Amino acid sequence: MLGYAYWGQKCPRRILGRVTVRALLAEKKHAFSFEYFPPKTEQGERSLFETVRAMKSLDPAFVSITCGAGGSTKRKTLDWAAKIKHEIGIEVVVHMTCLGRTRDELVGEIEDARSEGIENLLALRGDGGPPAPDGEVCKFAIDLIRIIEETFPAACTLGACYPEGHVDAENRELDLRRLKEKCDAGLDVLVTQLFFDNAHYFSFVDRARAIGIEQPVIPGIMPVTDVAQVERFTKMCGATLPRALMASLEGQTKEDVIKIGVEHASRQCAELLAHGAPGIHFYTLNKSPATRMVVEALR
């Protein structure tokens, strides 16, 4: 459990009612959401709590809390989600990873989320993680989606998708067919991997609709604030960086990189929303300024 007694004093626990992301998307014209990861240090925890609280003024539809590979942060992820939901008063999505994990373990984790009043779950495969225990274990996100569907049918289940294709997929067509299987297994909402060229999102959504995927597809956006970092991330997840964007960032000061990154993300978001995206999911990396600037520019 997170050990900040003073949080409880400053922010009395108010049990929020049950709200699903599905319902929030239907209700809000443009639903903004912010993704955070559970910090490793006490200083990080203090700073994240303040960041989330300050970002509440931007009226996010929900925030989501990531989970380490193999479920390594599962208790912390859930504690953060419960604190944000009940003490700060923002709806939450809990990320769950299933690769190498048993059904019993995952059923227990789903039950823990339900008992905290959380019913929005982002069902993921994850990458790597600790050695798998003996017995039957999950291999793909669809295994977890089926477990959620069987054990917590009232949950709103979100899933990941990849406008430029997933790095392990043999080809984009097969990747999309597997996404359709995930959707048919019980997904309510899709959230995309980050991308920097909207053409990828628009053509992906067209291809998804053409094969009968009807779920809302929330685009995932990360304003560039650090060139080396974005190069590292995109290499890992297979997203591409437009040449013109990279050229404009070359040789710039730290401040100018942030300015250019925010301008690019703001243009991306404005175009996505104008052309029917249901909202924007921001990869915040636990920092607020760049995301705040983009949301304020949009409003």
How far is 194 from 38, CA to CA, in rounded Å? 20
CA atoms within 13 Å, Cβ hemisphere of 156: 21
- For ligand FAD, the closer CB: 141 or 224: 141
Applying CB under 6 A, the span of 23-31, 54-62, 66-74, 207-215 interacting with ligand FAD comes to 66-74
Give yes or no for residue 67 binding ligand FAD (CB under 6 A): yes
Give yes or no for residue 269 binding ligand FAD (CB under 6 A): no
**Residues shown for the chain:** 299
Q: Active-site positions?
A: 35
DSSP conformation class of 58: G
Applying CB under 6 A, the span of 10-18, 124-132, 271-279, 289-297 interacting with ligand FAD comes to 124-132
**Binding ligand FAD by CB under 6 A: which of 163, 186, 219, 220?**
220
Give yes or no for residue 249 binding ligand FAD (CB under 6 A): no
- Taking the complex as a whole, the smallest distance from the CB of residue 142 to ligand FAD amounts, in Å, to 6
- Taking the complex as a whole, the smallest distance from the CB of residue 108 to ligand FAD amounts, in Å, to 18
**Under the phi-then-psi rule, with left for phi > 0, alpha for psi from -120 to 50, and beta for the rest, what region is 161?**
beta
How far is 216 from 149, CA to CA, in rounded Å? 18
User: In terms of C-beta distances under 8 Å and separation of at least 24 residues, what long-range contacts does 178-181 make, across chains too?
Assistant: 178/140, 178/142, 179/208, 179/213, 180/208, 180/211, 180/212, 180/213, 181/142
DSSP conformation class of 177: H
Give yes or no for residue 69 binding ligand FAD (CB under 6 A): yes
- For ligand FAD, the closer CB: 85 or 95: 95
Give yes or no for residue 124 binding ligand FAD (CB under 6 A): yes
Give yes or no for residue 97 binding ligand FAD (CB under 6 A): yes
User: How many degrees, rounded to 5, is the angle at CA 165 between CA 159 and CA 167?
Assistant: 95
DSSP conformation class of 133: P
Nearest to 232 by CA among 199, 194, 185: 194
Give yes or no for residue 20 binding ligand FAD (CB under 6 A): no
**Helix (H), strand (E) counts: the chain:** 12, 8
Applying CB under 6 A, the span of 120-128, 196-204, 243-251, 288-296 interacting with ligand FAD comes to 120-128
Give yes or no for residue 152 binding ligand FAD (CB under 6 A): no
Applying CB under 6 A, the span of 24-32, 64-72, 105-113, 223-231 interacting with ligand FAD comes to 64-72
**Which residues contact ligand FAD (rule: CB under 6 A)?**
66-67, 69, 95, 97, 124-127, 140-142, 160, 166, 168-169, 175, 178, 182, 191, 193, 220
